[in-house]
Amino acid sequence: MEQKKIILPSSYFPSIYYFYLILKYKEVLIETSDFYIKQSIRNHSIILGPNGDQKITVPINRKNKTKTIFKDLKIAMNPWKKNHIKSIKTAYANSPFYLYYHEEIFKIISKDFKFLLELNKEILFFLIKELNINVNITYTDKYIKDYGEKALDFRTELENSKNDCYIKYQQTFLNSTKRLNKYSIIDLLFNLGNESKEKILSEINKTNNYI
């Protein structure tokens, strides 16, 4: 398995593909010092509900829409938490492993985090623990535009990349597309439980492609 370091953006309930990369490369650097990018995975995630794809977004505060360093980005205080919990419950309450994970997930969402980075960190380390992933994760303390050969850079390309990850599994709501990697890892977790990690690893072993 490739051991080269990768650099990823911070993400709210990261996608299946995000964890595909984490499991594949093991050495992960997460960017905290870039400018916040609107409509990015930094503050939204996609889940699969009864009406198809649903984007859940954490509202943020920016003064006059000026550029803000991600680690300084504050969460807006509005009723988004109840909406996210309701959306996740509607999408996954009937999933096989909902009862195993939903309380901890809802507990994290309900916490009063000041900064988006703090929320994303707690979510990421909860998911890593539940998936039993052995990975070395570090966070940047300054922005470096080009890492050269030191790391594979996914900071701006992750969301739109056409990758070779075609994970398939039984879902509560049928999905017409074969490309499931865009959905939040919680979609996989609620449907496969402790088999989620092995499902991703089997895809890595099958493709054996270096990105």
Reported as a single tens digit per residue, the pLDDT across 10-61 is 999 999 999 999 999 989 999 999 998 888 899 999 999 888 889 999 999 8
What would the mean pLDDT of 160-174 be, rounded to a whole number? 67
46: amino acid identity, one letter:
I
* Cβ neighbourhood burial of 24 (10 Å; 0-12, 13-18, 19+): buried
**Where are the extended beta strands (E) located within 36-176?**
44-49, 52-57, 60-61, 74-75, 136-139, 152-153
Could you tell me how far CA 199 lies from the centroid of its own chain? 17
Q: Taking all residues of the chain, what is their mean pLDDT, rounded to a whole number?
A: 88
For the record, the structure tokens of 151 come out as 């790391």
Distance between CA atoms of 183 and 53, rounded to whole angstroms?
8
> pLDDT (tens digit, 9 = 90+) per residue, 123-134?
999 999 999 999
Number of neighbouring beta carbons within 10 Å of residue 183: 22
Is residue 81 helix, strand or coil?
helix
Taking the model in full, what pTM does it have? 0.91
User: What pairing do the DSSP bridges indicate for beta strands 6-9 and 60-61?
Assistant: unpaired
At residue 176, does pLDDT exceed 80? no
Which of 23-37, 63-77, 132-146 is the least confident region? 63-77
**Shortest CA distance to 113 belongs to which of 63, 37, 58?**
58
Distance between CA atoms of 124 and 134, rounded to whole angstroms?
13
